[in-house]
Structure 1
């Protein structure tokens, strides 16, 4: 991570920042000297988090699936803080279970939040950054951007889509002064992942992801996988014959259909996706 002086006064926006990974990103960023705007569909939760984390924080209502909501959010943030230096696309939802039992509402919600929400944020914020010649957009994707665990087919599809989108936009922004980064964590100990299995990777904490965000700001890089050994492992397996790759993947990547059958995720999935 860079020194504290590097972050002093930096304006950061964190979507889905009222709890979980987003909250930890906001907290670590504020501790490092950033001024942080927390956007969340739970406006009261965003404000409570901002109040709890202290000076330099503000909470706002934000629905990343709604263009008007996003524009109004950005207008309020820039009026309160000034130009945005860092946008962290953190908002995300996940339904887990057999592909043929996934409710249509859950499918639509994952596409709307995980894909269109990220695209909307980039499309609205990157041009403002490019006009100033400086800025950084960081997206919390997932190891599911490279893998596709059983039971998370649509979720993995959304994360594959996001990584593909960011790859193309990054090239379009080359030379503009706008950095694009994607953080790809394995399973993180949050409500979104509750009841899922970790496979061969260790369970991560929200702090691990927050630290990766600050590290990416201090030393920009496009893709950060956590734990760090997952990236080379996935790349290496990609060189193997399909039959051997399948066998290794079944040993390392958790079967979330089985895990979800043994856990009660209904409260989260109903609240997050109405499903």
Structure 2
């Protein structure tokens, strides 16, 4: 039976906008005490202010060890021990692999991989000491697939899936839960100018609802929409040539999709 999240301290990275903001909103609506962390401190505080007295905003750069540690310490001091950490912060560059700037590649690995590792490494031991806690990471369907035009982004999400699989085993029977949410393409600035393939465009609210659901009833992997998981599992049993044909029909070619899109503003802000 699913439990209540009322009164739990839920900390969300990258919570000032997009999916992170919706996660914070849905968690607060369900009765959680919410800590909103974001590199844009003002957006974090604005989001928290909109949620009411049960939320607070904090500056957080997930690529900086001192910043992440300071975030966790401040939340614990202000709101109490963190029950749930939602590793949501993420960035994405889209385009042909041989035109991807080195700075963009490094930024994706710094945020999407090292940021998640840092969050788990800093938060999980505190939870283990208390004998309870939950870390939910927003991964991606790219953790299972690798759309053309998102090679490095997919690599970061594959890395996250591998890391969390190993950590989950280390934390077995400690009371600390590890979960991954793997959505398809979500209607946010990060995905602007990309295509959805055979799947429908998701809303940030759909991802946020999946997060709240998995906090209430922990499970390791949740795909959004749900059929992505079984589809990938079944396709993995097919001969390569048939699998290739299926994936090319289902998975979008983001090189072609983004060719006419102007993602420059987002990529300049997110990737430097």
Shorter chain as normaliser: what TM range?
A: over 0.9
Cα deviation 1:214-253 (Å, max 9, x = unaligned): 1111111000001011111111110000011111111100
Question: Once structures 1 and 2 are overlaid, which stretch shifts more, 74-83 or 117-126?
Answer: 74-83
Q: Return the alpha-carbon distance in structure 1 between the equivalents of residues 157 and 148 of structure 2.
A: 14
Q: TM-score, normalised by structure 2?
A: 0.99
Separation in structure 2 between the aligned mates of residue 155 and residue 8 of structure 1, nearest angstrom: 34
Instruction: Show the 5 A alignment for 1:152-163.
Output: 152-163=150-161
Say whether 1:29 aligns with 2:27: yes
**Residue 87 of structure 1 aligns with which residue?**
85
- The 5 A counterparts of 1:176-255 are 176-255=174-253
Deviation at 1:134, TM superposition (A): 0.3
**Cα deviation, residue 152, structure 1:** 0.1
User: Residue 188 of structure 2 aligns to a residue in which SS?
Assistant: coil
Task: Give 1:19's aligned residue.
Answer: 17
1:105 Cα deviation from its structure 2 partner: 0.7
Q: Secondary structure at the match of 2:258?
A: helix
Tell me, in whole angstroms, the C-alpha distance in 2 between the residues paired with 1:228 and 1:18.
Answer: 27
Partner of 2:252: helix, strand, or coil? coil
Q: Any unmatched runs of 5+ in structure 2?
A: none
The alpha-carbon deviation at position 2 of structure 1 amounts to 4.3
Query: Which residues in structure 2 correspond to 1:1-275 (within 5 Å)?
Result: 2=2, 6-274=4-272
The secondary structure found in structure 1 opposite 2:189 is coil
Structure 2: distance between partners of 1:68 and 1:114: 17
Offset from partner CA, 1:39-79 (integer Å, 9 cap, x none): 00000110011111222111100000000111111111111
Runs of 4+ in 1 over 2 A off after TM superposition: none
User: Which consecutive unaligned segments of at least 5 residues does structure 1 have?
Assistant: none
TM-score by length of 1: 0.98
Instruction: Give the 3-state SS of the residue equivalent to 2:103 in structure 1.
Output: helix
**3-state secondary structure, aligned to 1:269:** helix
Alignment RMSD (CA, Å): 0.9
